């Protein structure tokens, strides 16, 4: 196949899968898929052998390590956990959301999210007021005290991310973002609809072609 035609074909396939991708995104994607990478078998017993399982294990362990280091990163800021930071930051980013909106946008359960919001209010980082469109609901707003806390927390969290990924080339980091952002976007939009359902039902909805029978 002519090299130009081959490249255009590759670009067309990429564009179908990632319509919002830039030329730079395509170049990273193309080069990454041209590398000859021999699969490294996992060491030890009972470890995943399929690529999706290995990827999920890596992501899970990185998340766990991130959680461990977050304790040190947030020490002295007035925020105890990454979940508290996530809620406070979500309220600031969304812009005076309802309680439920903030909790679900931060990917947290309603009961535990409510407890964390109450703590943030007691600390003076958040305030709430009646929703003028729905008197049964409350809206949240970050206080000046909360803004100061957020500035410090954001700096620490940014330093933590830099610490964990500084060995990766910037193009590799951008490629990881490009490849994984679709998964995050997809499941962020549907996880609430799966609450209360058993796993087999959820699995069948996400992968209907894998349903038994």
The tens digit of pLDDT for each residue in 46-105 reads 566 688 888 999 999 999 999 999 999 999 999 999 999 999 999 999 988 999 999 999
**pLDDT at res. 213:** 46
pTM above 0.85, yes or no: no
Q: Hey, what are 192's tokens?
A: 């609430």
Specify burial of residue 55 (Cβ count, 10 A radius: 0-12, 13-18, 19+): middle
Q: To which residue do tokens 């609901």 refer?
A: 137
Among the ranges given (11-20, 54-63, 90-99, 181-190), the one the predictor scored with the smallest mean pLDDT: 11-20
69 neighbors 160 (Cβ within 8 angstroms): yes
* Cα distances (Å, whole numbers) of residue 118 to 68, 84, 98, 106, 121: 24, 10, 14, 15, 5
**pLDDT at res. 209:** 78
């Amino acid at each position: 196949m002519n090299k130009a035609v081959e490249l255009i074909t590759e670009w067309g396939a990429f564009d179908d899968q990632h319509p919002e991708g830039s030329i730079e995104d395509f170049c990273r994607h193309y080069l990454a898929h041209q590398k000859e990478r021999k699969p490294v078998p996992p060491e030890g017993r009972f470890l995943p052998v399929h690529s999706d399982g290995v990827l999920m294990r890596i992501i899970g362990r990185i998340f766990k390590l991130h959680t461990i280091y977050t304790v040190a990163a947030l020490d002295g800021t007035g925020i105890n956990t990454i979940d508290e930071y996530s809620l406070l930051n979500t309220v600031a980013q969304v812009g005076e959301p309802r309680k439920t909106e903030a909790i679900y946008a931060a990917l947290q359960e309603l009961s535990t999210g409510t407890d964390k919001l109450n703590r943030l209010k007691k600390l003076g980082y958040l305030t709430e007021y009646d929703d003028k469109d729905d008197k049964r609901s409350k809206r949240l707003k970050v206080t000046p005290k909360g803004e100061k806390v957020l500035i410090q927390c954001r700096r620490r969290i940014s330093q933590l991310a830099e610490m964990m990924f500084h060995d990766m080339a910037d193009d590799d980091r951008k490629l990881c973002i490009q490849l994984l952002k679709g998964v995050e976007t997809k499941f962020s939009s549907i996880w609430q609809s799966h609450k209360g359902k058993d796993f087999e039902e959820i699995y069948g909805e996400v992968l209907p072609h894998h349903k038994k029978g």
